Amino acid sequence: MKLLLIEDEVSLSDALVNILKKEKYQVTAVYDGEEGLYYAVSNSYDLIILDIILPHLDGISILKEIRKQKIDTPVLMLTALAQEYDIVKGFDAGADDYLSKPFSTAELLARIKALLKRTGQYIYDETISFGNITLNLKSYMLSTPYNTIKVSAKECEILRFLISNPKFIATREDLINKVWGFDTEIESNSIEVFISFIRKKLIFIKANVAIVTIRGVGYRLEQKNVQ
């Protein structure tokens, strides 16, 4: 799970990063509003923790811009006590939840977990399914009633993204951001290689789903017509 933390108080940010890393979250910490927006619109995070008062661009404006760009990443706002006015503005702008400072570690972790679960990002079920395929996210076993095969960690991530967003065209950029991480240099033809491995595995296990290439755009998982 990748989290983006936009908080300008360095000591608070450092403390949060430590807590979150202990919980096995990958955290990108940003201390400036404009930079925060740049990372947020990369759409490569599962959750954004957003402070309101920030240098260069405030949290409410960041949130409005993210939602305007149709990015639906859950956002947890951090507010100073008694900023009720900001809380209302935050919800109006598309925040999913908020925490008033100071808050306890337990409270923060519970809110994060609840938000990820609500948006289907949190893995509390070990398996996800589409058509006749089932993917086990812990053991990396991909199966149908006919056969089972092991996939690699990257193949598992690609499949998880496709299965979690059915009917949605995953662009090469989406896959690079979600699977390899924002700011990663990877050739887009290496994605093609991974996709072709997955396709072979789907055929091998007699899956009734296929990864369809949408030319010039990306990929989509589709269920084949069953006679």
Counting residues that bind Ca ion (by CB under 5 A) gives 3
Q: Does 8 bind Ca ion (CB under 5 A)?
A: yes
Query: Which position among 51, 155, 157, 174 is part of the footprint of Ca ion (CB under 5 A)?
Result: 51
Strand order through the sheet with 127-130 = 127-130, 133-136, 141-143, 148-150
User: Which of 1, 12, 53, 57 touches Ca ion (CB under 5 A)?
Assistant: 53
- The residue (of 8 and 97) whose beta carbon lies closer to Ca ion is 8
Show the tokens assigned to 91.
Answer: 């919800």
Give whichever of 85 and 124 is closer to Ca ion, judged by the CB atom: 85
Please give the C-alpha separations between residue 112 and each of 6, 76, 99, 116, 118, in angstroms, as whole numbers.
Answer: 15, 8, 10, 6, 10
CB 73 within 8 A of CB 94: no
Span from 53-61, 142-150, 185-193, 202-210 in contact with Ca ion (CB under 5 A): 53-61
As a dihedral over the C-alpha atoms of residue 167, residue 116, residue 119, residue 207, rounded to 10 degrees, the angle is 30
In the complex, least distance from residue 8 CB atom to Ca ion, rounded to whole angstroms: 5
Q: Which two tokens stand for residue 105?
A: 């570690």
209-214 sheet: strands from edge to edge:
170-171, 218-223, 209-214
Candidate segments 36-44, 48-56, 57-65, 87-95, binder of Ca ion by CB under 5 A: 48-56
Instruction: Output the smallest distance, CB 45 to Ca ion, in A.
Output: 19
| Of 11 and 189, CB closest to Ca ion | 11
Which two three-digit tokens encode residue 7?
């908080």
C-beta of 50 vs 163, nearer to Ca ion: 50
For Ca ion, the binding residues (CB under 5 A) are 8, 51, 53
